[in-house]
């Protein structure tokens, strides 16, 4: 669900896994797994050498095809990590005027609940708002729907 607060949008998703938090955390805190849960048509590719585990200060550079066939570079930084609770990535360079993505994890017995909170701002003022309504809103919804389905398969 996407909510708007002034010029800032919030995208919130929640997913429950039939897996213990150790397994879910292991998967999501491994940056290379982002390639596995991004739709193929976006041609997502990590460009730099990255550590196996997310850590504060980690820079991840990649390219992605937001408007096919044009690819854009995107650089994010893992700004915070609290083992088996949450981590945060923020755009340092890329297609948004602002991008702040929180990944929260909560153990519920043998299950794990993951909540994604993404706060973002479109670039280019009124033009960005038009692009959001005509294209980006649908594209973000598709990406996170795909991600939910792919991740469920990973834990079956």
CATH number at residue 91: 3.30.530.20
Going by pLDDT thresholds of 50, 70 and 90, the confidence category of residue 87 is very high
90-106 residue pLDDT tens:
999 999 999 999 999 99
pLDDT of residue 44: 93
Angular region, 124: left φ>0, alpha ψ -120 to 50, beta rest: left
pLDDT of residue 92: 98
pLDDT of residue 19: 94
pLDDT of residue 154: 80
Structure tokens at 10: 């919030």
User: For the stretch 68-81, what's the b/e string if a residue is b when 16 or more beta carbons lie within 10 angstroms of its beta carbon?
Assistant: eeebeebebbbbeb
Distance CA 119, CA 53 (A): 23
Distance CA 78, CA 56 (A): 5
Q: What are phi and psi of 69, to 5 degrees?
A: -90, 10
Q: Minimal CA–CA distance to 60: which of 23, 27, 94?
A: 94
Going by pLDDT thresholds of 50, 70 and 90, the confidence category of residue 81 is very high
Domain of 96, in residue numbers: 2-154
Q: What are phi and psi of 70, to 5 degrees?
A: -75, 130
Of the two residues 151 and 114, the one the predictor is more confident about is 114
> Average pLDDT of the chain?
93
Of the two residues 10 and 153, the one the predictor is more confident about is 10
pLDDT of residue 80: 98
Residue 67 has pLDDT above 80, yes or no: no
When divided into structural domains, the chain yields a total of 1
């Amino acid at each position: 669900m996407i909510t708007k607060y002034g010029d800032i949008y919030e995208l919130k998703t929640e997913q429950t896994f039939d897996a213990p938090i150790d397994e879910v955390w292991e998967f999501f805190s491994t940056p290379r797994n982002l390639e596995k849960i991004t739709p193929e048509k976006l041609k997502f590719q990590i460009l730099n050498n990255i550590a196996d585990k997310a850590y504060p200060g980690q820079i991840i550079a990649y390219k992605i095809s937001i408007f096919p066939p044009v690819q854009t570079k995107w650089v994010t930084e893992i700004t915070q990590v609290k083992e088996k609770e949450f981590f945060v990535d923020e755009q340092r360079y890329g297609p948004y005027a602002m991008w702040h993505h929180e990944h929260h994890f909560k153990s519920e017995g043998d299950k794990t609940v993951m909540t994604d909170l993404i706060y973002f701002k479109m670039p280019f003022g009124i033009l960005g708002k038009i692009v959001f309504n005509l294209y980006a809103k649908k594209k973000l919804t598709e990406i996170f729907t795909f991600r939910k389905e792919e991740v469920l398969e990973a834990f079956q």
